[in-house]
Structure 1
Amino acid sequence: MTARVFPPGGTAVRRDVVYGRVWSAMPYTVLTDDGATLTLTARPGTETLAPASWTAAARGGGDAARLDCIQDLAAGRWELDHWTWRDTVVLSRFTAGVPFSVHRFLTPEGRPLHWYVNFERPYRRTAIGIDTFDLFLDLVITPDLSAYRWKDEDEYAQARRLGVVDEATHRQMDRARELALAQLRERTGPFAPDPDAWTVPPEGPLPTLPATALSTPTAEAAR
């Protein structure tokens, strides 16, 4: 079956899927899609779904609440809560077969804030968007690409201790780190000079989650 290509201006939902269940779901507006690389954007006010323990941490629960979120995941017990994307515009690029996505965060006025590499399982296309799974570790890069720092290493360590990230996945993560840093260092892939690649689009209607956002993922996607 030919994978669906999403039209510019349409909606694509990025879901985190684990243990056969939806862990999070966020609708994006499609900018471009060539069947391999999908470029999306989200604006403040977009309504999403996320684990209740994560939303509690995001609302000021602190580090303990963040780690509790991973314990809930390891135990297979979580409830989804509504979360409103706020404060920033994000431009996101997902490339088939690549174990991370790359995001550029800006203020609503368009001022660059930082780049963000989100390490995750390579995406699988669905009827409504893409399914993946966030592997906790992130790389935050300055707007001019001159410096970076690792983020959420404590969450990644917790996920390893609890078996959410197994040894095989950890080895894959090591290779993913090396690939992301090589692309950053060499200014290739998403970091290649291209003034048109990360252009902020004009404002339009906010995307919404479809009724099927929580449908049971296919066996292929539910890794």
Structure 2
Amino acid sequence: MFEFLCRKLGWEPKTGESHLDAMLRDEVLTALAVFGHDLTLKEANRRFRAFLDDRNTPLLHPNIRKAAYVAVMREVSTSNRFGYESLLRVYRETDSSQERTRVLSSLTSSPDPNIIVEALNFLLSSEVRTLDAALGLGVSREGRETAWTWMKDNWEHISKTWGSGNLITHFVNSIVSPFASFEKAKEIEEFFASRTNSKIARTLKQSIERVHINANWVQRVHNEEHLGETVIKFIVRDGEIKCVIL
């Protein structure tokens, strides 16, 4: 489905296209990058390298930079730090708050736990405005457990720095909500049993409820005997995808 949409939308903005198509392009390319789509990763890296040489290159329109940055970070590891170091350079050299936002929201997309920790620590550094730190909390699927451990280890600092405002709720919601097991929900409840305050109480409750919802969904999927027999047909009509489940 995403490949079809990518072929339809392409990497380049089209004359007369709707604002929704422009937004959808970035979402589709980002999804393909997260899924490890080889062609998307290669094309994103090609365009990103051109961008590093020339910040005004037409190959990397601002509307698709987030997707390219995520794709670049998906290939970053302890032994291959090029993308991470390059994005930090972009962050440090730009005067654009939008560009910094794109970089911060992409830095934790690597599957490597060591890079995840390094990126999360960067959010707490003096290089990142206190108000912007929450922008980088959307970690990769592979980094969820790493981010949870990191938050527990740094909770005293996080609580002291952001505890007087509403931004602390972003730490809780972003790192807790993606989990999907009853065991993890219990672990989270136990950790916050003596650390809950009025600022995070509601968000914590909602986040734990989300973990339970996710866990129930996973359980239902595992118990579905005929899931493998479910046939999904994607029918293309007038350039749109119609999904029919039989």
Task: Give the structure with the higher percent strand.
Answer: 1
* TM-score with structure 1 setting the length: 0.31
* TM-score with structure 2 setting the length: 0.29
Q: Which has the higher contact order (CA 8 A, sep 6+)?
A: 1
Task: Give the structure with the higher percent helix.
Answer: 2
